[in-house]
Amino acid sequence: MNESPSTSPTAVVLIHDEEAGPGQLGPALRRAGFALDVRSGAPHPEDTEADLVVVMGRALGLQEVQPPSLLEEQRRLLARRLESGRPSLGIGAGALVLAAAAGARVHPGEKGPVLGVHPVSLTTEGLSDPLFAGFEEFFDVLHWQEDTFEPVHGAQVLASTARYPHQIFRMGHSYGVQLHPEVDGDLFERWVRSAQRDVARVGLDAEELLKRERPRLARVQQHAMLLMERLATFCARQVGAGGGERYLFTVETIQRLAGRGVLLSPGIPRRSPIVRVGQTISLKRPDGSRVEGTVRGMASFGETGAAIPLLVLLNAPDAEVPPGSEALTSEPLTV
């Protein structure tokens, strides 16, 4: 699927199967200014010079289910890009390919498969990396993994778990993310139903896993979407792109105030601001229509949580902002 107008930088997204596509990363890359070229199979020779290459995938026992020749071609591609300093992203199985491209040995994990939403902790380097501005030291995210890899020479490990320590790492202009922040509830359900063998390896059937994990996954979407937006924005800067919209959060609840005011939740991360008072934001409703507004404050009172509700004055007093609307801004990050 090639969406590549000549005026936009192109993100080549290599997937291992149709169910392991870009997910929530796709819209984030488009907002950052990229056109997408999503395809499966072997990389093309010209991918070495692409603006951005993303390798994705989900599998337990990657080397058992993917052709070794395909993984080797992807590894060689990412190795050439690392050598030339061109940006790449490895998401899920792609993080294993990126680690192998940097010379690390990939092998089955000794602590068994992990499927579901579990905590991850930021390292000292992760806490200081702009990718995680506004994040708490510990946050929950979806895992779907069993393979792991040895430490990557020259890489900074940014996030870790007790069972598998190399969850997110950075090498120059490239990131490896073995977690799955690109997955929302609908995509997760498709994964579960299409990978019953993987699910059985954690001692559950599909319905049991979905019942347990769907509510958890819904609760972690704000951090997942914010991480996708940060990765896309970082990559856009590496290729001189920008000017696209920046994702803030997906609206879950709306409280109407006097006049044009609305209080939108969950809002922005509490730990570090990502918007400022007076900033213009756009609320993209589920049907694609929009309403504009201006930030007038952060509602830091009330129940303590990871996010602060946002007070917004709408340009159109009677405009509806239904749950599921995305709060976006084209203004730069404030930290």
pLDDT surpasses 80 at 299 = no
DSSP 15-82: ESSGGGS-TTHHHHHHHTT-EEEEEESSPPGGGGGSSEEEE----SSHHHHS-HHHHHHHHHHHHHHH
More confident residue, 327 or 135: 327
pTM: 0.83
Residue 1: the pLDDT is: 55
**pLDDT tens, residue by residue, 21-43:** 899 999 999 988 899 999 988 89
| Model confidence pLDDT, tens digit, residues 261-298 | 999 998 887 766 678 899 999 999 999 899 999 999 88
Q: Which residues of 118-154 are buried (b: 16+ CB within 10 A; e: fewer)?
A: bebbbbeebeebebbbbbeeebbbbbbbbbbbeebee
DSSP run (H or E) holding 186? helix 185-194
- Give the tens place of pLDDT for each residue, 211-260: 999 999 998 888 898 899 899 989 998 888 766 678 888 898 999 998 89
pLDDT at residue 65 in the model: 54
Question: How many other CB atoms sit within 10 Å of the CB of residue 332?
Answer: 10
Instruction: Round to whole Å and give the CA distance between 105 and 306.
Output: 37
Work out the number of other CB atoms within 10 angstroms of the CB of residue 28: 28
Would you state the pLDDT for residue 66?
62
How would you class 313 by CB atoms within 10 Å of its CB: exposed for 0-12, middle for 13-18, buried for 19 or more?
middle
Look at residues 189, 166, 50, 39 and name the one whose alpha carbon lies nearest to residue 98.
166
Query: Three-class SS of residue 319?
Result: coil
Residue 24 token pair = 């929530």
Average pLDDT over residues 3-20: 78
pLDDT, mean over the chain: 88
243 to 138, 273, 294, 307: CA distances (angstroms) = 31, 20, 19, 26
Domains of the chain with CATH codes: 10-238 (3.40.50.880), 246-329 (2.40.10.170)
CA atoms within 13 A on the CB side of 50: 27
DSSP string, 82-129: HHHT--EEEETHHHHHHHHHTTPPEEE-TT--EEEEEEEEE-HHHHHS
Give the pLDDT score at 300: 63
Please write the tens of the pLDDT for every residue from 93-105: 999 999 999 999 9
Strand partners, 95: none
Helix 206-219 crosses helix 221-238 at what angle (to 10 degrees)? 70
Q: Which DSSP letter does residue 150 get?
A: P
